Amino acid sequence: MNSIAQQLKTRFEKAFTSAFGESYAGTDPMLAAAGNPKFGDFQCNAAMSLGKKLGKPPRAIASTIIENLDIADICETPEIAGPGFINLKLKPAYLEAQISEIAADTRLGIEPAKTPQRVAIDFSSPNIAKEMHVGHLRSTIIGDAIARILEFQGHDVLRINHIGDWGTQFGMLIAYLREVHPEALTTADALDLGDLVAFYRQAKQRFDADETFKETARQEVVKLQAGAEDTRRAWKLLCDQSRREFQVIYDLLDIKLTERGESFYNPLLPAVVEDLTNLGLLVESDGAKCVFVDGFTNKEGEPLPLIVQKTDGGYNYATTDLAAIRYRIQNDNAKRIIYVTDSGQANHFAQVFAVARKACWIPEDVEIVHVPFGLVLGEEGKRLKTRSGEAVRLQDLLDEAIVRATQDLEDRLVREERQETKEFIANVGRVVGLSAVKYADLSQNRASNYVFSYDKMLALQGNTAPYMLYAYARVQGIRRKGEINFDNLDAGAKVILQSDAELVLAKHLLQFNEVINAVDGDLLPNRICQYLFELSQKFNQFFEQCPVLKAEEPLRTSRLILCDLTARTLKLGLGLLGIKVLERM
């Protein structure tokens, strides 16, 4: 179903043609939400610019438009205001019909994308032998939400985990473990990720201080790249160890990813350098092979090279990303490639994309974007750390959210004098805790930093997951109390929109498809959060002002339809954010 704005736009375009001729068919009606609900729902602001073009007073243009406008089935008679605004007020009968239509549709009136695309989303992407940190958590949550939204839109989404599983650090780590913990290189599970991280740190210290060790580490890298069996086995073991621990987090958060780490592109790296050479784009600088593109400079203002092969012959993070772009375009056939990382990597991606463009590796019909996000801050406004100043372990952070959500629930049960089973408490605590973490992240414009606060994210009031979940559970409460089966509501029952609260709720329900379409474009999931927040507020107002179960028929059924549609919208919207609803909480 077309959005209301879209339907209005079509009518205006017709009016422009009949009023001013074919050449005006494509004129933008400049529709906006009415500044003041007193004047209606929308306003058309096109008369001013058309007036200039046609050399006529805008108010005269506005009346010509209205004379040619066939819109009586949607709006009350349009009114002209001020210099030439056209105010439009939607008719309740029209809204009633639209609500019935979306209520009868499992997709709530949201049409899938007209041209489904293959989309590659590169997200999460932690590094082997390092802890997954909050930056990876953001990437995981935001990337998953974007994937869910695009999948719902009918796109064919590849969820790629570009794990940092290759590079000189492995030589260092393997050389060190051979010395201090050789069994870790031959036995699975000899270490956990915590140990691995500690060894990694020690190995790095050794590497920086000890020349002989440095040499040994280099040899390990060479052996690894040459495919020496014992080094390879050691490397694989280390990767498996980390992978298992990442998987615990993914399972907890219900995240699906296909691993395709940096090592995957290893065999493709020489061709990247060769092709850049043949294109005449490679420049040797201090023995390193570089590409220069306009517009990239270092702090001193000098041209900044993208190094694709180091003096010692090793390849870089950037080389792998160039190979990955080629692979995603040529082998995966991706038409849209999305990278979800912190904004600290914005320059890296801008430069890599620029080099790939210069090499003509990105066809016209392929869109490639970096989706950056800001930092997670502690309550004092600095980067989130533990009390002892270390990076927060994700597992601890999620566990803590669950513990606190469970505690909040137990307190509430005491206050409400309710008895619930252990299973109920554990399940609700877990869902609320994890939802709160996800929602707190997604509800911010991703570009900004945000303060991580358990108290705020778990609050029952405000733009939080618990508030949204509560609105959903409230509808299910009505269902249970009235012993209603929403699936069996009279399909032909008429929706009746009488009171203001009903009209306000209905209009909001009809905007969901616009929001989803906008997010398909700009990849800002916080739009969905804001929409759901307002929906919950409008529903709560409706519920306070309009009796539902006690209303007389046919109003009762109509209001039940609104309740159910609100709940289904919440469930769908939260689902697109990776959040599950609760029937009771």
Give the nearer residue to ligand ARG in terms of CB position, either 213 or 246.
246
Out of 41, 96, 122, 165, the residue judged to bind ligand ARG by CB under 6 A: 122
The full DSSP string for 247-281 is: HHHHHHHT---EE--GGGGGGGHHHHHHHHHHTT-
3-class secondary-structure state, position 296: strand
3-class secondary-structure state, position 128: coil
**Shortest reach from residue 246's CB to ligand ARG, in Å:** 12
If one asks whether residue 162 binds ligand ARG (CB under 6 A), the answer comes out as yes
If one asks whether residue 341 binds ligand ARG (CB under 6 A), the answer comes out as yes
If one asks whether residue 127 binds ligand ARG (CB under 6 A), the answer comes out as yes
**Shortest reach from residue 133's CB to ligand ARG, in Å:** 8
Cα dist from 349 to 51, 342, 414, whole Å: 45, 11, 52
Cα 485 → chain centroid: 33
If one asks whether residue 370 binds ligand ARG (CB under 6 A), the answer comes out as no
If one asks whether residue 131 binds ligand ARG (CB under 6 A), the answer comes out as no
Give the nearer residue to ligand ARG in terms of CB position, either 96 or 321.
321
| Binding window for ligand ARG (CB under 6 A); candidates: 125-133, 245-253, 298-306, 491-499 | 125-133
Out of 265, 339, 470, 531, the residue judged to bind ligand ARG by CB under 6 A: 339
Cβ neighbours, 10 Å, residue 414: 9
Cβ atoms of 293 and 359 closer than 8 Å: no
Give the nearer residue to ligand ARG in terms of CB position, either 394 or 515.
394
If one asks whether residue 265 binds ligand ARG (CB under 6 A), the answer comes out as no
Total interface residues for ligand ARG by CB under 6 A = 10
Out of 40, 164, 305, 433, the residue judged to bind ligand ARG by CB under 6 A: 164
If one asks whether residue 321 binds ligand ARG (CB under 6 A), the answer comes out as yes
Cβ neighbours, 10 Å, residue 76: 16
**Unique residue bearing structure tokens 């669950």:** 402
If one asks whether residue 143 binds ligand ARG (CB under 6 A), the answer comes out as no
Looking at this protein, which amino acid is placed at residue 208? D
If one asks whether residue 264 binds ligand ARG (CB under 6 A), the answer comes out as no
- What does the per-residue mask of binding to ligand ARG show for 457-486, with x meaning CB under 6 A? ------------------------------
| Binding window for ligand ARG (CB under 6 A); candidates: 54-62, 76-84, 121-129, 362-370 | 121-129
If one asks whether residue 336 binds ligand ARG (CB under 6 A), the answer comes out as no
490 Rama class: left (phi>0) / alpha (psi -120 to 50) / beta: beta
**Unique residue bearing structure tokens 């293959």:** 118
**Shortest reach from residue 436's CB to ligand ARG, in Å:** 25
Burial of 308 (0-12, 13-18, 19+ CB in 10 A): buried
Cα dist from 103 to 71, 100, 371, 490, whole Å: 24, 5, 34, 12
- Which candidate, 453, 473, 463, places its Cα nearest to that of 409? 473
If one asks whether residue 502 binds ligand ARG (CB under 6 A), the answer comes out as no
Name the residues that contact ligand ARG, by CB under 6 A.
122, 125-127, 162, 164, 321, 324, 339, 341
